[in-house]
Structure 1
Amino acid sequence: MKSIRARALAIAILILAASSNAWPQSGKTASAPSGAPAMSASAAAPVSSRQTNRALRRQVYAAIGKHKEISAGNISVVAKGGAVTLSGTVTDASQINQIAEIVKGVPEVTSVTNKLTVQTPFGGM
């Protein structure tokens, strides 16, 4: 019985020692008072950046959607800080450059990485 209590106490001491020596993650401050929210300007920036990227992504999809001859169902758009990456498949090779030009015309798009490919039929021909 005494040995079980001694082990439990030793484990508790090890956990306490390990947690007190832990380094804060990069970009986080360890000096926030207890009970207070740890919000800073650096924590708010990724949220607004994420919202901006999502808004840009929606604008790109809307611009592509205005062209009825393009099937945007197989196109994926990733926006990050004005840089847009297109991936997926299109039905015709001429649509690859056409879509890239449409996306370049969207305000706030600074660069376009085009990874679109032509969809091959299931028969492989």
Structure 2
Amino acid sequence: MNGLRAALGVAIATVLISAWAQDGMPAGASAGAALNASGGSTAKTARQANRALKRKVYAALAKHKEIDAGNIGITAKSGAVTISGTVSDASQISTVIEVVKGVPGVTSVTSKLTVQRPFGQ
């Protein structure tokens, strides 16, 4: 009787493994490998979304001719935008922050902007 149970258990395991392999997962592949494969695509998607948001922020700043955005750097991560660099006038800092806050997809803004001082002062 025990031999029959063991044979039945082996047969069921074989059927389950082959059915799992037919679903696109190779036989012997672990669940961890499946998670890593799907996690890679979500990380890539997140990077693409961050780059797209960064481009939108730069485009919004370019529309405002009063802002000298040549020395401004943008970092975007999941809607959180950090702006860094220098501007020529202190009033531009608040303008830049307001423009960035108005970009669709921006959830928060961190400013690390400073005023560029002329050489020799």
Aligned residues: 90
Indicate the residue corresponding to 1:55 in structure 2: 52
> What is the DSSP-based 3-state SS (H/G/I as helix, E as strand, rest coil) of the residue aligned with 2:51?
helix
Aligned: 1:94 with 2:98: no
- Does the residue aligned with 1:40 lie in a helix, a strand or coil? helix
Question: Which residue is 1:121 aligned to?
Answer: 118
Normalising to structure 1: TM-score of the pair?
0.68
Q: Distance in 2 between matches of 1:116 and 1:80?
A: 18
Give CA deviations for 1:66-103 in whole Å, capped at 9, x if unaligned.
01111111000000000000000000000001100000
Show the counterpart of 2:82: 85
Partner residue, 1:106: 103
Over aligned residue pairs, what C-alpha RMSD do you find?
1.7
Work out the CA distance in 1 between the residues paired with 2:99 and 2:29: 47
2:68 is equivalent to residue 71 of structure 1: yes
1:38-83 deviation digits (Å, cap 9, x = unpaired): 9621111110000000000000000000011111110000000000
* TM-score, structure 2 as length reference: 0.70
Quick one: percent identity of the two aligned structures? 61
Shift of 1:32: 4.4
| Distance in 1 separating the partners of 2:61 and 2:111 | 14
- Computing the radius of gyration from Cα coordinates, the structure with the larger value is 2
Structure with more of its chain in helix, by fraction: 2
* Counterpart position of 2:3: none
Question: Unaligned regions of 5+ residues in structure 2, if any?
Answer: 1-27
Distance, in Å, in 2 between the alignment partners of 1:123 and 1:99 is 26
Q: 1:57 aligns to what SS in structure 2?
A: helix
